[in-house]
Copies of this chain bind each other. A is one copy, B any other.
């Protein structure tokens, strides 16, 4: 509850305050619980204020999505260290799925093309950068070149490396994957084990 109070008419750093507020709301209540007015209230500012900084709600959420891709990229970056071939791909996919499970709100936002501005250059760059470890692993295993930012022309074998991660992550966040315990919570360990089994079936 970082309700930023202020004494002066101007906020000072409203832009990043709104991004933080949005991230907190999404983490606590999910994308479906997010509201632009809520974020404004949390930053201690009037409902119309965010528009001036982000143009629209989608503008703000695009920034949140961009930062989320950066976070995902950071987690993927070190995940394949010392591993090669299919073992590297398995490790990266496992991290991808864990990120989706542990950051359900943000991950759902990343897939909501109606809420974010997909053509935003910074966002596209962040997506591209986040996928680089997967590309590198696929390249190492199968002799691919480095992919270009244009997703339209990605090598089919690189897509083949991304697809299982994406699919598993979606199933996980939709609660269809695994091991929901009696409390309703997800048994992370059991899910990790299941994911590992699936990955060994795909990439032995």
Binding site for B on A (CB under 8 A): 30-32, 111, 113-114, 118, 151-152, 156-157, 159-160, 162-168, 170-171, 174-180, 194, 197-198, 201-202
Contact = CB atoms under 8 A, between A and B. Distances in A.
A175 B114 CA distance: 12
Given A156-B198, A167-B170, 15 more contacts: A30-B114, A31-B114, A111-B174, A151-B177, A152-B179, A156-B194, A156-B201, A159-B171, A159-B194, A160-B198, A162-B171, A163-B167, A164-B202, A167-B167, A202-B202
B160 A201 contact: yes
Nearest to A181: B152
Contact of A175 (B113, B164, B166, B177): B113
Identify the interface centre among A30, A31, A176: most chain B CB within 10 Å of its CB: A176
A171 B164 CA distance: 11
A189 to B, nearest CB: 15
A163 B198 contact: yes
A76 to B, nearest CB: 16
Given A114-B32, A152-B180, A166 B159 contact: no
A18 to B, nearest CB: 22
Contacts of A197: 156-157
